[in-house]
Amino acid sequence: MKAETPRDLALKALNRLTRSPAFSSSVLDRLFRANRDLDDRDRAFVSHLVQGVLRWRLRLDWIIGQAAHFPLRKIEPPVLDILRLALYQVFFLDRVPESAAVNEAVNQAKAGYPGHIASFVNGLLRTICRHKENVAYPNRGSDPIRYLSVYYSYPVWLVEKWMSELGADKAEALLEAGNQTPPLVVRVNHLKSGRSALVKRLAEEGLEVRPTSYSPLGVVVEGLRGKVDQLRAFKEGLFQVQDEAAQIASFFLSPLPGSTVLDLCAGFGGKTSHLSEMMNNQGRVVALDTNRDKLVSLAANAKRLGIQIIHPAVADATSDVSALFRSRFDRVLVDAPCSGLGVLSRHPDGKWTRDKEGIKGLALLQAAVLHRAAGVLKKGGRMLYVTCTISREENEGVVERFLKDHPAMVLENMKEEAPSWAAELIDEEGFLRTFPPLHRMDGFFAALFTKPSRSTVS
């Protein structure tokens, strides 16, 4: 039996995602667990191919449609994935010869389909290769939305949304930024090290590293070959993988050593561990999530980092969480489930798994979580609302609705307390807002609330 090549494995992952849309990271994780003999170089190539096809899928489909001269729906989905995979290599990977990409695609077609399918794949790909410098996209002047959608590979509804909310120039810059492959960014665990010391350690392990532009704890890591969890510095708990924007958000909750903190939607706990480190591992951090597996990973990660104050608990943040606790919390973090439109460079599958109606539903969910969060916050306490999206409904819209329903809560202007390194990240409305094209990090939004010690309403 012929061994599967990296391209075969990438195709297998793409087929699974086509049949059942999901996070590509989870599909790739399962694929790699089933192919443990795959070396680091091939593993990276598979991931790059899958992420690249997802990132550029709409443009690739446009190119296929122009050459095929019949609707894409007449091409079987697995065959369409073969074509997408080959054309991604042809148009976006300079180091892959066109002949290699085409020949592999033909072999994949031969392996699963009758001879005429392989002939179709061969003929269409070779035709596209001959004319690849002359691809005709939609007319930008007469149909700018369609042009931007196809050229940058985003659904029409999202292009329209960002054009409406941001304006043409900022929207196009965001579309372009979302197609860039993001760097690996880590946060130093200051319980065990400092940033300068971590930079030195990672350099000793053969990596190219530099401090982040804003976060005082961040390090950009380049030149990593293999898995980050195999680094000695990782095993020793000297750092946590976390994008710079996520690092910055936690600073504004500013928990003190010895305080009590509730992380209502903890997930894998990147912010949970950061808050614990800010507290010098003193106090109590309760991490809630509905996913037990994520909390198990969170607990294991806390142990690696040397943190003992995190208490994971399985619970639904939209339920009456106040009934779970005898006392209220000094700080509450609402890292809300969101559309993830600010992290599409890391998760390009989000382009195709989100829609307008889904965003409306998420905004209702976020409002429900914020309502529950307010109920467990002490008087005089702080609550931080965070999303990794660029969507007015999920950001300003949720804040406005929350303040209308909770008139006693106060929205703080985050600029008044922002450290100098973060001042330019606070907008004129007092929100934290990171914009990928401008700040070269994920797109995050955060709003800070306080509950006054005395009610301001009668």
Question: Catalytic site residues?
Answer: 388
**Angstrom distance (rounded) from CA 194 to CA 66:** 54
Alpha-carbon gap, residue 30 to 13, rounded angstroms: 9
- Give me the residue label for tokens 């269409």: 124
Cα 53 to chain centroid, rounded: 17
N residues, the chain: 458
DSSP per position, 253-309: T-PPTT-EEEETT-TT-HHHHHHHHHTTT-SEEEEEES-HHHHHHHHHHHHHHT---
Residue (of 265, 277, 333) closest to 304 by Cα position: 277
In angstroms, the CA 211 to CA 140 distance is 40
- Alpha-carbon distance 264 to 316, whole Å? 8
| Rounded CA separation 66/423 (Å) | 48
Record the tokens describing residue 299, joined without a space. Answer: 């607990």
Integer CA distances (angstroms), 104 to 11, 42, 412, in order: 11, 15, 57
Reported as half-sphere exposure (CB side, CA atoms, 13 A), residue 209 has a value of: 22
Q: Is beta strand 239-241 parallel, antiparallel or unpaired with respect to 218-222?
A: unpaired
Distances (CA, A) of 25 to 19, 262, 346, 436: 16, 28, 10, 21
